[in-house]
Homo-oligomer: A and B are copies of this chain.
Amino acid sequence: MEQSLKIYTEHRKKLLAMQYVDFLIGWDTQTDAAENSIIADSAQMSVISEFSYKLSTDPQFESAVETLYARRDELDDVMRHEIETVYKNINDVKKIPIEEYTAYSQLSSQAYPVYVRAKTENNFELFRPYLEKIVEFCRKQTVWLATDKLQGYDVLLDMYEPHYTQAEYDKFFDVLRKRLVPFVRQRTAQPTVKPQWANQTFDANKQREFCEYLRDVMCFDKSRGIMKESEHPFTSGFGTDDVRITNHYYPDSLLSSVFSAIHETGHATYEQQVDPALNGTLSGGGASLGLHESQSRFYENMIGRSRAFWQAHFGKLQQVFAPQLDGVSPDEFMRYVNAVERSFVRTEADELTYPLHIMLRYEIEQKLICGELQVKDLPAYWNDKFTEYFGITPPTDTLGVLQDVHWAYGNFGYFPTYALGSAIAAQLYHAMNADFDVEASLADGTTARINEWLKSHVHKYGSSKYPDEILRLATGEDFDPEYYVDYLIGKYSAQ
């Protein structure tokens, strides 16, 4: 036991060092590296990958993990959870036949450029044979990785969001289907008119200035992280002391950078507020994709699209862009940032219609994985269902079934975490409001009180517990999607 713990913690240092190297290479590739300097396919990258692979399959490490797993009841809570996770990962990898895995890796790298071409040319048939093989592999995965508790699509769902399976998601999307679909249909019957002032161009440097202000409003600790530019906004980092956000400034879209800044700073706040004692373990960072997304969405939607937020900060926005927003009121601006509209593309959807895009993908994945739906029938099925939920029909597959890259990467089970994040955010918002008046707390000009609540109820745990456990500790309840639908219908009925 003693010996195994020693081997484990020594080896963990090496794993973390390679995680750091991966983080840094990813960061550099997405920010600084020139077009021909990217090392993805280079000799040094394959050496680094081989180092990492050897570390994660080291027999001495694996045997230490097995010993610790067998005696996990003697470990403290954090270590027990960590060992359970590492043990599962090691064994899951072993359950996949190596030749299948190799063939699939090759398929994946071939599929991506074909997907890009198919999307550009609106040609689903081009991508179809690749997607068929990808779905085939994912179906096999559900067999290889099946356990007593997890079978079929649940195997994939649990990979992205531990402990959330069809039992939870079905309940979730049933509520959406019953309560949200009719509400959205009624609420979006009239087209939205974009106000005149929103059609101006907004200087990129001024956008940056305002986003830096927002970062300070959200109390981002600049001594432990930075904010930079990249093609697509993202958050990345290593531990609590190095948390990095990027943004992108489009002169023709003010809202894009503003809400990316709030969204990414939400992710960053989670990372910066993890208990620093978890640095140097594998229990740092966010607990899951869905819980991470719940934090970015919480700040973006519950806070960043609230009346109180713009009461406090619209003056600064007006000042930075003076005189472009003269004569606009905080409430007008707040209504503009909450405009809703039916649209074809998920990534451009507003807060209200967004979850319906995910619901559609969830149903499709469920049917594809269990074999009820075949890849060849996908485009027609997509369009039928889309029409049913949104009342409009995608004019092309580019704007329909081909719009997202996730399936080309074989990421079946990933999409549901996006909607889950918003629903968890609403449940946390409800619990937080029971403790103090959240909107009123924004009057001091920062999100300090909100950060504090989230730190002590969610962030501090890092990934040392499962996401459902953390939600239960934070709210005293199991996941309950009614909070989310109540929140959405309440908010969008009032406007």
Contact = CB atoms under 8 A, between A and B. Distances in A.
Interface string A215-248: 0000000111110100000000010011010000
A44 interface: yes
Contact of A36 (B32, B33, B34, B241): B241
Interface string A36-80: 110100011101100100000000000000000000000000000
A36 B34 CA distance: 27
Nearest to A242: B37
Nearest to A225: B34
Interface stretch (A18-26, A162-170, A456-464): A18-26
Interface residues of A, number: 35
A44 B28 contact: no
A102 to B, nearest CB: 22
A100 interface: no
A16 interface: yes
A284 to B, nearest CB: 13
Contacts of A379: none
A221 to B, nearest CB: 8
Contacts of A31: 32
Nearest to A39: B20
Contact of A34 (B20, B43, B226): B226
A460 to B, nearest CB: 19
A35 interface: yes
Q: Copies per complex?
A: 2
Contact of A44 (B17, B32, B34, B48): B17
Contact of A17 (B16, B34, B43, B226): B43
Interface string A434-465: 00000000000000000000000000000000
A21 B34 contact: no
A494 to B, nearest CB: 41
A151 B282 CA distance: 52
A17 B48 contact: yes
A280 interface: yes
Interface string A198-229: 00000000000000000000000011111010
Interface in A1-34: 13-14, 16-17, 20-21, 24-25, 27-28, 31-34
A280 B43 contact: yes
Contacts of A13: 43-44, 47
A264 to B, nearest CB: 16
B224 A47 contact: no
Given A21-B21, A24-B25, A226 B32 contact: yes
A13 B244 CA distance: 30
B43 A21 contact: no
Contacts of A33: 226, 242
Nearest to A37: B242
A228 B28 CA distance: 13
B16 A24 contact: no
A225 to B, nearest CB: 5
Nearest to A43: B13
Given A43-B13, A44-B13, A47-B13, A36 B224 contact: yes
A48 B18 CA distance: 8
A17 B223 contact: no
Contacts of A39: 20, 242
Given A16-B47, A27-B28, 18 more contacts: A13-B43, A17-B51, A20-B39, A21-B21, A21-B24, A21-B48, A24-B28, A27-B32, A31-B32, A33-B226, A33-B242, A34-B224, A34-B226, A34-B242, A36-B224, A37-B224, A37-B226, A37-B242
Closest 5 CB pairs of A and B: A17-B47, A37-B242, A17-B44, A20-B44, A36-B223
